[in-house]
């Protein structure tokens, strides 16, 4: 069997997505992959069209590992979000083809089901503690047993993640008012100061534990904004609240700083959405500096790399919590769940509810029921793409916000 051609499809059903479709010389047999990198969509599309796709025409789509190695090691220049997102899309689509050929869902190819479904979490948020509490209660009423909680920080402008659960669509950051440049929006600028944040988050969890109780698993996403000693302090202050984990406490560049955090707090730690390979994860795994590894499969080279990361993590008592926001496409969400229900060391899965427009373009996303996500037994990943529907929603330039401190200096968003 041979790869005959590969389509790159850019579409904006509420927010931008990039998808690929790998065609084969077997009539009707193709694979679908997700190549969406929020705010850098067209760079990935260009990397695929201009550089990677020409290398793939005529190759045997069965050779997933060899194609992965060829595109990563064989290209000399490797890694980073753009190239690893492009590689992930190809990898996912090849696993989709392999499943369709075998007549099996991808989770069967990964070793088969180890659990009835993937424990899923949603986002709760609000302007104040009562709004967050109401948001958590709505999530519980919908069946969630794990909820992430974020609240507006007094004095700051535009706090990350306070929109709460994206019950329909996930255009949380796309259509916000922003400056306009040459024919499109420019990033919205948010203001953030650590001291108010450090005081507010433990108080939020005081409120949530005293009103909601301890039966629902709660946790918080720092979004890489703290210094190691601040993260250690926050982790210690959150110990009485028994959160599931503190997510992404510090910037991704400083793996060694996790030693300091770990030495000072019993609050479990999660990290990884800004990692792009197993080598980014390695020190945190082998030194047991975190409890959950939460790479984005769509930005880390796909299923082939994720199963290796998971296998290393398993050896060190670390569970998976793959990144699952609205800004990656349904094929990555499906890949997440295929791994989740096959891996021995799955922990929890982030999810969003896609809008009707997204379902129209990408039918077959994972289904949520009773707090869990599941995929169907359809061969492959189970996600398709309707190109006619995709064409109705042309690309719109959009950026993530940027963050500045009160003195105007740049900080991590
Ligand atoms: C999460 C992440 C996202 C990212 C987004 C950026 O935990 O889901 O932090 O919300 O901010 O993926 O594009
Ligand atoms: Mg996060």
Number of domains in the chain: 2
Q: What is the dihedral of CA 221, 224, 230, 234, to 10 degrees?
A: 10
- Same domain flag for 319 and 346: yes
| 83 burial via Cβ count (<10 Å: 0-12, 13-18, 19+) | buried
Asked if the model's pLDDT at residue 173 lies above 80, the reply is no
Q: Which one is catalytic: 17, 160, 292, 393? A: 160
Domain that holds residue 21: 3-104
Let me know: does 231 contact 270? Beta carbons within 8 Å: no
3-state secondary structure of 247: strand
Q: Tell me which of 51, 80, 104 is where a domain ends.
A: 104
- Same domain flag for 8 and 124: no
- Same domain flag for 240 and 344: yes
Q: How many CA atoms lie within 13 A of 230 on its CB side?
A: 17
For 99-110, the pLDDT digits (tens) are: 999 999 999 999
How far is the C-alpha of 95 from the C-alpha of 227, rounded, in Å?
39
- Same domain flag for 173 and 125: yes
Query: What's the confidence (pLDDT) of residue 168?
Result: 32
Q: Would you call 223 a catalytic residue per the annotation?
A: yes
Let me know: does 101 contact 380? Beta carbons within 8 Å: no
DSSP state of 180: B
- The model's confidence at residue 180, banded by pLDDT at 50, 70 and 90, is low
DSSP state of 99: H
Asked if the model's pLDDT at residue 275 lies above 50, the reply is yes
CATH code (residue 329)? 3.20.20.120
Q: Which residue has a Cα nearest atom 6 of ligand 1? A: 38
| Average pLDDT of the segment spanning 5-13 | 98
Residue 296 Cβ contacting ligand 1 at under 6 Å: no
Asked if the model's pLDDT at residue 166 lies above 70, the reply is no
- Same domain flag for 139 and 56: no
What's the predicted TM-score (pTM) here? 0.96
Cα distances (Å, whole numbers) of residue 344 to 127, 136, 315, 347: 38, 29, 11, 9
Q: Which atom of ligand 1 is nearest to the CA of 223?
A: 9
Q: Are strands 217-221 and 189-191 parallel, antiparallel or unpaired?
A: unpaired
Let me know: does 123 contact 150? Beta carbons within 8 Å: yes
Residue 327 Cβ contacting ligand 1 at under 6 Å: yes
Q: Would you call 241 a catalytic residue per the annotation?
A: no
The tokens 């991590």 sit on which residue? 412
Cα 142 to middle of ligand 1, angstroms: 22
């Amino acid at each position: 069997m041979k790869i005959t051609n590969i389509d790159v499809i850019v579409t904006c059903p509420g927010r931008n997505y990039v998808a690929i479709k790998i065609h084969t010389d077997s009539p009707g047999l193709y694979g679908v992959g997700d190549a969406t990198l929020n705010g850098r969509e067209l760079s990935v599309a260009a990397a695929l069209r201009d550089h990677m796709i020409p290398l793939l025409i005529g190759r045997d789509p069965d050779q997933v590992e060899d194609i992965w190695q060829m595109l990563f090691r064989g290209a000399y220049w490797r890694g980073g979000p753009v190239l690893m997102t492009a590689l992930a899309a190809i990898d996912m689509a090849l696993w989709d083809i392999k499943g369709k050929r075998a007549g099996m869902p991808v989770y069967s190819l990964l070793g088969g089901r180890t659990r009835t479904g993937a424990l899923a979490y949603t986002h709760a948020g609000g302007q104040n503690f009562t709004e967050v509490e109401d948001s958590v209660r709505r999530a519980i009423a919908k069946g969630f047993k794990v909820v992430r909680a974020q609240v507006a920080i007094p004095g700051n402008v535009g706090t990350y993640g306070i929109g709460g659960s994206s019950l329909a669509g996930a255009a949380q950051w796309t259509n916000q008012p922003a400056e306009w440049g040459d024919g499109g929006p420019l990033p919205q600028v948010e203001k953030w100061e650590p001291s108010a944040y450090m005081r507010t988050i433990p108080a939020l969890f005081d409120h949530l534990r005293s009103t909601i109780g301890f039966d629902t698993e709660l946790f918080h996403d720092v979004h890489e904004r703290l210094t190691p000693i601040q993260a250690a302090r926050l982790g210690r202050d959150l110990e009485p609240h028994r959160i599931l984990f503190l997510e992404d406490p510090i910037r991704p560049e400083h793996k060694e700083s996790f030693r300091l955090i770990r030495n000072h707090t019993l609050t479990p730690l999660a990290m990884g959405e800004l990692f792009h390979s197993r080598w980014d994860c390695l020190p945190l795994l082998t030194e047991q500096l975190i409890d959950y590894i939460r790479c984005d499969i769509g930005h880390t080279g796909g299923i082939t790399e994720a199963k290796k990361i998971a296998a290393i993590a398993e050896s060190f008592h670390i569970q998976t919590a793959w990144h699952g926001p609205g800004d990656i496409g349904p094929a990555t969400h499906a890949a997440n769940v295929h791994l989740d229900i096959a891996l021995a060391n799955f922990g929890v899965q982030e999810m969003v509810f896609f809008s009707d427009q997204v379902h129209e373009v990408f039918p077959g996303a994972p289904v949520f029921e009773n707090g869990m996500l599941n995929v169907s037994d359809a061969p492959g990943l189970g996600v398709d793409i309707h190109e006619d529907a995709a064409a109705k929603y042309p690309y719109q330039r959009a950026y993530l916000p940027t963050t500045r401190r009160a003195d105007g200096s740049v900080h991590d968003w």
